[in-house]
């Protein structure tokens, strides 16, 4: 298999899965993105992305506990996999390297 690439939204969702840890499921991710980035995202888009990430082996999922507000439905809890984590790290590293190459902006007096 070749190198895995991630889209911007995929990267965002993957990061959120990592951040939320044990509490990473569809709605929580939507809420987290809304609160931290002030960005409204669609629940279905998050779901689709999560499944796609699962297909790529970057996250794993398990059925979690049910809560009353969910009408007794269990959550599908996503967990970032080692591959996902290392991909995020790689991405960060690459960004940093590229950032280094960017000419430092100087404010003129």
Partner 1 sequence: MKSLPQPPQWAVRFLEWFCPYLLFESVLGDLLEEFDDDVEQLGERKARARFIWNVISFFRPGILLRNNFKLKIIDNIMFNNYFKIALRNIRKRKLYSFINAFGLSIAIAFCVLIYLFIKDERSFDQFHKNKSDLFVVARTSYDAWGGEPTYEHSLYQQLVLGPQLQQEVPEVKRIARFKSGYTGVLNFNNKSFEESFGFTDSAFFKMFSFPLLSGDIKSIFKNPDEMVITTRVAERYFGNEDPVGKAVEFDFGGEKRLFTISGLVDVPPSNSSLQFNILIPMENHPSYEWQMQNGWRSFSTPTFIQLEHGADTALVAKKMEQAVEKFVKDDQDQERKELNIAADIKLLSYHLNNIEGMHMNTKLAWDNSSDPQYSYILAGIALLILVIACINYVSLSLSASGVRRKEVGVRKAIGAHRNQLISQFTIESIALAVISMIFGFALVFVLLPYFNDFTSKQIHITWGNSFELVGLIFLLALFIGVLAGSYPSLFLSSFKTSLVLKGSNISKLKAGFTKPLVVLQFALSSFLIISSLIMYKQMEFITTKDLGYNNELVLVVNTHRGYALRNNGLVEKMRVALQGVPDVKLVSGSNSSFGGGWNMMGYTEDGKNKMSYVYDVDPYYIPLLDIEILKGRNFDPDMPSDSNAVIVNEALVKDMGWTDPLSEHLNWEEDEASEGARVIGVMKDYNFLSLQRNVEPLFLKEKDAFLNYLLIKIEPDNIPETIALIEDEWSKVSPDKPFSYSFLDDDVARQYDAFNKWMNIMGLATGFAIIISCLGLFGLSGINALNKTKEIGIRKVFGAEVFNIFILLNRQFVWLAIISFLLAAPVAWYIMSQWLEKFEFSIELGWQMFVFSMLSGLLVALITVSYHGIKSAFTNPADTLKYE
Stretch that binds partner 1, among 2-10, 21-29, 33-41, 84-92 (CB under 8 A): 21-29
Residue 80 φ then ψ, to 5°: -75, 135
Q: How far is the CB of 30 from partner 1 (least distance, A)?
A: 8
- The angle at the Cα of 66, spanning 28 to 46, to the nearest 5 degrees, equals 30
Supply the Cα-derived Rg of the chain in whole angstroms. Answer: 17
Q: Which is nearer to partner 1, 67 or 82 (CB)?
A: 67
| DSSP conformational letter for 38 | -
Task: Give the CA distances from residue 4 to residues 1, 19, 52, 62, 70, in Å, rounded to whole numbers and listed in that order.
Answer: 8, 21, 12, 23, 34
Q: Which is nearer to partner 1, 67 or 92 (CB)?
A: 67
Q: Which is nearer to partner 1, 26 or 84 (CB)?
A: 26
**Options 4, 47, 57, 83; binder of partner 1; rule CB under 8 A:** 47
Instruction: Kindly list the residues in this chain that would bind partner 1 in the complex (CB under 8 A).
Output: 25-27, 30, 42-45, 47-49, 51-52, 63, 66-67, 69-71, 73-76
């Amino acid at each position: 298999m070749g190198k895995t690439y991630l889209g911007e939204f995929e990267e965002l969702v993957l990061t959120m899965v990592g951040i939320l840890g044990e509490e990473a499921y569809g709605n929580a991710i939507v809420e987290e993105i809304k609160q931290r980035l002030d960005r409204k995202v669609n629940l279905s888009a998050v779901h689709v992305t999560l499944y796609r990430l699962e297909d790529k082996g970057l996250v794993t999922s398990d059925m979690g506990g049910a809560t009353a507000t969910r009408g007794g439905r269990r959550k599908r809890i996503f967990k970032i996999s080692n591959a996902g984590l290392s991909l995020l790290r790689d991405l960060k590293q690459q960004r940093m390297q590229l950032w280094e190459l960017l000419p430092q902006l100087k404010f003129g007096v």
